[in-house]
Chains A and B, each alone.
Chain A
Amino acid sequence: ILNVEQSPQSLHVQEGDSTNFTCSFPSSNFYALHWYRWETAKSPEALFVMTLNGDEKKKGRISATLNTKEGYSYLYIKGSQPEDSATYLCALNNAGNMLTFGGGTRLMVKP
């Protein structure tokens, strides 16, 4: 069983604050790491797929980095907005056919 852990479990920030959270995973047999954003009452939405050590991806105010040797990925949000409030999930693909998800980080941005 793969152990994918995310921290913190939840986070409250003020509008305009920048924030980041962590996804930790076993570094052996790494294939790809995925980040999803899941807003209440909607489908989880793909943000990034990262495959190479040192990868950095960016989408607007959201960016992510990947360290496959030590087994972690960071997700950063610059200048948080209320519409960024969601649960952020990371998921590991270890060359199998399924994704193993972490428990998620629930972000709440107060206006």
Chain B
Amino acid sequence: DTGVSQDPRHKITKRGQNVTFRCDPISEHNRLYWYRQTLGQGPEFLTYFQNEAQLEKSRLLSDRFSAERPKGSFSTLEIQRTEQGDSAMYLCASSRPGTGVAGYTFGSGTRLTVV
């Protein structure tokens, strides 16, 4: 297992276009998280899956954002009608079940630039 992978690494899109990012977690990790990080800020929670169930969503996740995790494996995050304010680093992380002190294993992120 090569860790958490995210695709693409970089995405430049025009305002109003739709974009989709993919995250492949570590295979034995049942929890998957999406965070967003903007310049000068720490990562902000967007949403969380346990297996295929989306258990929590931040109010930061407007109706233009949707995330899925079919079959509890990889996850996709789609942003519709992108706005310049969506420009950020989108981080995916996964964690193993059981212990509550399990930290995250992060991917390298997808950097989105909306022009």
Q: How close is B60's CB to chain A, nearest CB, in angstroms?
A: 11
**Interchain CB contact under 8 A, B42 and A97:** no
A101 contacts across to B, CB distance below 8 A: 35, 42-44
Q: Does A64 contact B (CB under 8 A)?
A: no
CA distance A4 to B50 in the complex (A): 25
Mask for A26-52, Cβ within 8 A of B = 1, else 0? 000001101010000111111001010
Is A100 in the interface zone, CB < 8 Å from B?
Answer: yes
Indicate if the CB atoms of A97 and B43 lie closer than 8 Å.
no
Q: Is the CB of A93 within 8 A of B101?
A: yes
A87 to B26, CA, bound (A): 24
Contact with B along A73-111 (1 / 0, CB 8 A): 000000000000000010101010111111110000000
- Residue ranges of B at the interface with A (Cβ–Cβ < 8 Å): 3-4, 31, 33, 35, 40-45, 48, 50, 55-56, 91, 100-101, 103-109
Residues of A within 8 A of B (CB): 4, 6, 9, 31-32, 34, 36, 41-46, 49, 51, 89, 91, 93, 95, 97-104
Q: Can you sample 13 A-B contacts with CB below 8 Å?
A: A34-B103, A36-B103, A43-B106, A45-B106, A46-B104, A46-B105, A91-B42, A97-B31, A97-B48, A97-B56, A98-B56, A99-B104, A103-B42
